[in-house]
Amino acid sequence: MRWIGVGARLVVGGVWLVAGLLKIPDPAENVRAVRAYRLLPETVVPLVGHALPVLEILVGVCLLLGLLVRANAVLSAVLLLGFIVGISAAWARGMSIECGCFGGGGGPAENAQAKYPWELARDFGLFILSAWLVYRPRSPLALDNALFPRSSPARSADTRRQNAAMAQRKSKAARNAERLAASEQAKAVLLEQQRRERRRRTYVVTAVVAVVLTLLLGIGYAVQSSRDTTGQATTPPAGAVDSYALPLGKSSAPVTVTVYEDFMCPYCGEFEKASRDTLHQYAADGDVQVQYRVLSFLDRASDGSDYSTRSMNALGAVLDTAGPEVASKFHDLLYEQQPQENTKGLSDDELIALAVQAGAKESAVAGPIRDLKFEQWVKNATDQSTKDGVSATPTVRVDGTTIDYQTIDELVTKMDAAIQAGLRS
C-alpha cells in the first residue's frame, strides 16, 4: 500500500510540473486562459494567471520529492476541483475554450467541446490520486520521512506494560520493584520530552519550509507579472478602426461583420476560403464593413518562431504605411500562403516580399517587420479580444452578435443569413 503513494506522487507531481513549465514562457497567455472561463472578476484574473503556473510547479516539485505531501496534496485537490468546475461550466454554457491546462489556442467549437469529457476524466482521476495522498501521505522515498521521523515503537505504552508485568512475575525484593517502577517513570518522562521535541521540530521545519515556498511563490509571481507587458500604451497603426481592426468597406455600411482570426489557425484559413468572395462583394456593394481583428493565439504552434505575432505585426506595418486597401490585399495573401500549424511559418523576408506584392514599399515596411514595431499592439489586441469574450478562432460577429457554429460551412451560412437580416432591418 505504501508504494501506491509513491506512484500517486509521481503521477500527480509530474503532471503539475509539466503543466506549470508549459505555462511559464507566456504570462499573457495564462491570463487569457483564466479569463476565457468567465468565472472570475477581471481584477482577479491577472493575479491568478500569473501565480498559477508558479504554484503548479511548486506543488509538482514538492510531491515528487515527498515534501509536505499532505499539504501539497490538499492544494492539488483544490486546484483540480477548480479546473473540474471551470471545464464543467464552460461545457454547460456551450463555450469553446482551447486555452486549457496544457496550452492555449483556437479552433471551432466542436474540437474544444469534444475534449471536455477527456479533460474532466483526467482531472477527476488526478483528484482521486490527490485525495489518496491526503489520506495516506506517508510513502517510501520521501523527504518527509527524514524531516518528520515517526516515534520508535519500542517506546510504546504496550512495551512498558509488558515490562511491568514481567517485573511482577519475578520474585524480587520490594526495593527491586520500587527501583523498576522508578525506572519506568523516568522512561515515561524521557519519552514525553522526546515527543515534545519532535512536535517542536515538526512545527519549526514545517514553518520554515512553508515560508520558503511562499517566498518562492511570491518571487515567481513578481517575475511573471513583470514579464507580462499586456496593456502598456502604444500607438496603433494608422488606418486601424477602433484601434485594432483592419477595415474592408465603408464605415457608413449598414451592417458590420467582425472577424477574429489568427494567421496560423487552419480553421481561419478554411473560413477565409469559404467567405472571402462573399464578404468582398458585400463590402464592394457598400452593404457591409468587414473588420478583421487578427490575434496571436497560436504563437506556441509555430515551432518557436512566434509566427502569429510576426504576421500580425507585419499586417500592422503594411496598414500603417500603405493604408487599408493594400493591407487587405496583404491579409488575403497571407492566407493564400498560410503555413501549417507547428511549423515556423513565413520568414521575415517572405513577409516583406508578400507586403511588396500587395503594393507596399519595401523601404517602408522592412524595418517595422524585422524590428517588430507593432508587437505591443499585437499583445494588446489579443488581450482585448479575450476581454471581449473571444476564446477561439475564428469568431465572427454580425452587428455585435456572435455566430454560434459547429462547422465552417455552418458558420458561413449563418453569417450570410445574419447579414441579410441586418440589411432588411
Question: Which of the pair, 231 or 377, is modelled with greater confidence?
Answer: 377
Same domain, residue pair 2 and 102: yes
| Residue 174 covered by a domain | no
For strand 288-294 and strand 401-402, is the pairing parallel, antiparallel, or unpaired? unpaired
pLDDT score at 156: 46
pLDDT score at 148: 86
Q: What is the CATH number for 304?
A: 3.40.30.10
Same domain, residue pair 314 and 346: yes
Same domain, residue pair 124 and 272: no
| Residue 16 covered by a domain | yes
The number of residues making up the chain comes to 425
Q: Can you tell me the mean pLDDT for 214-237?
A: 90
pLDDT score at 180: 65
Q: Is 308 in contact with 261 (CB distance < 8 Å)? A: no
pLDDT score at 1: 74
Q: Is the pLDDT of residue 160 over 70?
A: no
Q: Is the pLDDT of residue 218 over 50?
A: yes
If pLDDT is split at 50, 70 and 90, which confidence band does 69 have? very high
Spatial CB neighbours of 186, under 8 Å, sequence gap ≥ 6? none
pLDDT score at 150: 75
Average pLDDT, the chain: 88
| Residue 227 covered by a domain | no
Same domain, residue pair 71 and 36: yes
| Residue 154 covered by a domain | no
| Cβ atoms within 10 Å, residue 400 | 8
pLDDT score at 227: 87
Domain count, the chain: 3
| Residue 158 covered by a domain | no
| Residue 195 covered by a domain | yes
pLDDT score at 165: 54
Same domain, residue pair 25 and 70: yes
Same domain, residue pair 204 and 257: no
What is the per-residue pLDDT across 323-370, written as a single tens digit (0 to 9) for each? 999 999 999 999 999 999 999 999 999 999 999 999 999 999 999 999
Same domain, residue pair 250 and 217: no
Spatial CB neighbours of 135, under 8 Å, sequence gap ≥ 6? none
What is the per-residue pLDDT across 389-406, written as a single tens digit (0 to 9) for each? 898 899 999 999 999 998
pLDDT score at 336: 97
d(CA 413, CA 368): 38
Q: Domain end: 222, 255, 287, which one? A: 222
**Structure-block grid coordinates of residue 79:** 486546484
| Residue 101 covered by a domain | yes
| Residue 281 covered by a domain | yes
Per-position DSSP letters for 284-316, written without gaps between them = HTTSEEEEEEE--TTGGGSTTS-HHHHHHHHHH
Q: Domain end: 122, 147, 172, which one? A: 147
Same domain, residue pair 137 and 186: no
Same domain, residue pair 214 and 264: no
Same domain, residue pair 206 and 294: no
Same domain, residue pair 394 and 278: yes
Domain region containing 65 = 1-147
Same domain, residue pair 195 and 250: no
pLDDT score at 105: 40
If pLDDT is split at 50, 70 and 90, which confidence band does 110 have? very low
**For the ranges 20-29, 109-118, 204-213, 367-376, which has the lowest average pLDDT?**
109-118
d(CA 332, CA 338): 10
What is the per-residue pLDDT across 281-317, written as a single tens digit (0 to 9) for each? 999 999 999 999 999 989 988 999 999 999 999 999 9
